[in-house]
Structure 1
């Protein structure tokens, strides 16, 4: 089966980075039968804890894109994150802003496979799981990965974001 171009870009980036899952197998994009626009839906579809879902949230940080990979078990504290990265204003990005910076739709934003590198924070709460799951570029696609590999492949900074 041929992957959607967004999912293929994510798979290519995973392959290029040598990303691995908890069984030390190459991370592979999986297509789900139904779209999973929320962490709760993704966790239910995969049979995992909601905290294992790495939500890819794009924020507008004083006009610059910021990707926060946060555990599905909690919400990002925008005031805390703004202070952490030294910006005046941090707000959820519009769908147009998200597409411009990632090439991907809200609900399917992956941690990688974007047209250019996006500054990234990776929630330290995700480190509590052997394996986490992230979106694969479209709302029907996900992939498994370990926390250390998620930090490595995104060049992200581990942070307490909740």
Structure 2
């Protein structure tokens, strides 16, 4: 398997990570929950990457796979009046990744990133590696440091 842009971004930054592969289930109701179950990880450590529009501008939110994003909280943290989910086709164009394989790292266009503050309480978390069926295990501080992310309470 060729390295994804997400892996290349971590390599270029000299950041430590562990790759985990699993059998991606396209029929799963929740990609994140399915990945957590497949890898035997508690859902709070398996983070999902959601692309949104805040006052029409793209942004990225990273939160536990068993949580729902609060659009109101996300908008407030971004200094916007309102936020909504980005249509999947737009998310794919913006990030260069397929839905189900969107990583916060190595996106085609750099956008503001929000991280659920509770995720920072874990020693290691999992984020998508830029390909369906591929997860990256990293220290949560990497999300904030490497992505210049804002940490805050963004779950509903």
Structure 2 residue aligned with 1:17: 13
Equivalences, count: 152
Structure 1, residues 112-132: CA drift from partner, whole Å, max 9, x if none?
Answer: 111121110111111121110
4, 8, 20: which one pairs with 1:30?
Answer: 20
Structure 2 length-normalised TM: 0.89
Higher deviation after alignment, 58-67 or 34-43: 34-43
Which structure 1 residue ranges, 5 or more long, are not aligned?
A: 21-26
- Measured in 1, the distance between the counterparts of 2:18 and 2:125 equals 13
What is the RMSD of the two structures over their aligned residues, measured on CA atoms? 1.6
- Measured in 2, the distance between the counterparts of 1:108 and 1:125 equals 23
- Measured in 1, the distance between the counterparts of 2:90 and 2:82 equals 15
Structure 1, residues 96-115: CA drift from partner, whole Å, max 9, x if none?
Answer: 21012101122111011111
Counterpart secondary structure, 1:58: strand
1:17: how far off? 1.4
Is the 1:67–1:118 contact (alpha carbons within 8 Å) kept by the matching residues of 2? Answer: yes
Counterpart secondary structure, 1:11: helix
Is the 2:125–2:138 contact (alpha carbons within 8 Å) kept by the matching residues of 1? Answer: yes
Q: Which of structure 1's runs of 4+ aligned residues deviate more than 6 A? A: none
Structure 1 length-normalised TM: 0.86
